[in-house]
Amino acid sequence: MRRTSGWRAWAWPARCVVVAFIVILVAYLATSPLGLGGLMERLLAAFGAATIGTFAWRISTRRRVGLASESSGDSEAVPES
């Protein structure tokens, strides 16, 4: 985890997404007998697509921090396993 210094900023949003996904999944299971299964499936799919898109956008717009030190040769050599 030392090489990915920004991982802590991603922990809470990822946890929130997991909790929301589980809540929608439980709602889907609870409403299936009522005939609302199709609606909940669509909500689950839309939420998943929006989440993936949001994380992809955030990753693509993230500022690259370590590129300057890597290009100057100051970075630590990590042995390959």
Structure tokens at 48: 């998943």
- For Cα atoms 56, 8, 3, give the angle at the middle one, nearest 5 degrees: 85
Query: Per-residue pLDDT tens for 19-72?
Result: 988 998 888 888 888 888 788 888 889 998 999 998 888 888 877 655 544 444
* Token duo for residue 51: 């989440």
pTM of the model: 0.58
User: What are the residue boundaries of the structural domains of the chain, listed by start?
Assistant: 33-58
Q: Determine which helix (DSSP H) or strand (DSSP E) holds 42, and give its type and residue range.
A: helix 37-60
DSSP state of 77: P
On whether the CB atoms of residues 24 and 46 are closer than 8 A, the answer is no
